């Protein structure tokens, strides 16, 4: 019996220690890489940085409870309050019996706002980079077997860091990335993209070579 009690105590201590350790865990950082095949020869890669945090949550414990109601029942066969017996009724209901602390986690991911574009030339793979983390949000799509990346400036067009559109005088850039050519186009006060828009006055977002 003494050995059993010692084992129970050790088990309880181990459980309490594990709960304490989990509650004291530092945030965990991880990187998720997303690879998107735009065309048979063009691939776009972007990354997300995810932070997982641990926190304690107090939860209420509910169990089945029984309420007993005792009363006296009289048949009154020979007068008032005669031929009586003690009876009782019961009601079952859910009631709070305690609390417990549960360690939970939440994960929040944010994009790195950096595109790595690979163009398969057959004998070699050309890699380009568009780092828009400081410039403004970008979106991409496939058009005529090319990768189209459209970006809107944080200073002149983006809404709370989110891409909306490129209308109404917003400063935007467009990258047309095809198998055999890469073009960079601009627009501000005009409706279409051109290679040289005089109304585009911001610092330009560059597409760069990726160093191996």
Asked whether residue 57 is assigned to any structural domain, the reply reads yes
Residues 126 and 23 in one domain: no
Q: Which of the listed residues 73, 94, 111 is the one where a domain comes to its end?
A: 111
Model pTM score: 0.68
- pLDDT score recorded for residue 161: 82
The pLDDT confidence band at residue 195, using thresholds 50, 70 and 90, is very high
Burial of 153 (0-12, 13-18, 19+ CB in 10 A): buried
- pLDDT score recorded for residue 6: 46
Residues 14 and 58 in one domain: yes
Domain count for the chain: 2
- The Cα–Cα gap between 104 and 133 comes to 31
CB atoms closer than 10 angstroms to residue 158? 19
The pLDDT confidence band at residue 78, using thresholds 50, 70 and 90, is confident
Asked whether residue 40 is assigned to any structural domain, the reply reads no
- The Cα–Cα gap between 100 and 53 comes to 20
> Does 12 have pLDDT greater than 70?
no
Asked whether residue 135 is assigned to any structural domain, the reply reads yes
- The Cα–Cα gap between 61 and 144 comes to 60
Percentage above 90 pLDDT, the chain:
67
- pLDDT score recorded for residue 212: 65
Asked whether residue 202 is assigned to any structural domain, the reply reads yes
What is the domain extent for residue 96?
Answer: 1-34+52-111
Asked whether residue 46 is assigned to any structural domain, the reply reads no
- pLDDT score recorded for residue 79: 84
The pLDDT confidence band at residue 174, using thresholds 50, 70 and 90, is very high
Residues 18 and 123 in one domain: no
The pLDDT confidence band at residue 25, using thresholds 50, 70 and 90, is confident
Asked whether residue 102 is assigned to any structural domain, the reply reads yes
Interval 114-129: pLDDT, tens: 999 999 998 899 999 9
Phi-psi region of 20 (alpha: psi -120 to 50; beta: other; left: phi over 0): alpha
Residues 140 and 89 in one domain: no
Residues 91 and 63 in one domain: yes
> Does 155 have pLDDT greater than 90?
no
> Does 1 have pLDDT greater than 50?
no
């Amino acid at each position: 019996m003494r050995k059993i009690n010692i084992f129970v105590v050790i088990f309880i201590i181990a459980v309490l220690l594990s709960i304490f350790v989990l509650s004291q865990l530092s945030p965990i950082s991880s990187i998720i890489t997303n690879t998107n095949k735009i065309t048979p020869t063009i691939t776009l890669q972007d990354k997300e940085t995810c932070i997982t945090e641990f926190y304690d949550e107090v939860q209420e414990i509910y169990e089945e409870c029984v309420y007993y109601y005792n009363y006296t029942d009289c048949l009154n066969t020979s007068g008032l309050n005669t031929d009586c017996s003690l009876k009782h009724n019961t009601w079952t209901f859910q009631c709070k019996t305690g609390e417990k602390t549960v360690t939970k986690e939440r994960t929040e991911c944010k994009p790195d706002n950096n595109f790595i574009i690979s163009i398969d030339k057959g004998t070699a793979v050309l890699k380009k980079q568009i780092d828009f983390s400081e410039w403004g949000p970008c979106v991409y799509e496939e058009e005529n077997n090319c990768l189209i990346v459209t970006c809107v400036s944080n200073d002149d067009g983006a809404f709370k860091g989110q891409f909306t559109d490129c209308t109404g005088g917003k400063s935007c850039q467009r990258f047309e990335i095809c198998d055999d050519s890469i073009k960079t186009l601009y627009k501000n006060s005009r409706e279409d993209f051109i290679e040289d828009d005089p109304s585009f006055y911001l610092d330009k977002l560059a597409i760069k070579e990726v160093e191996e």
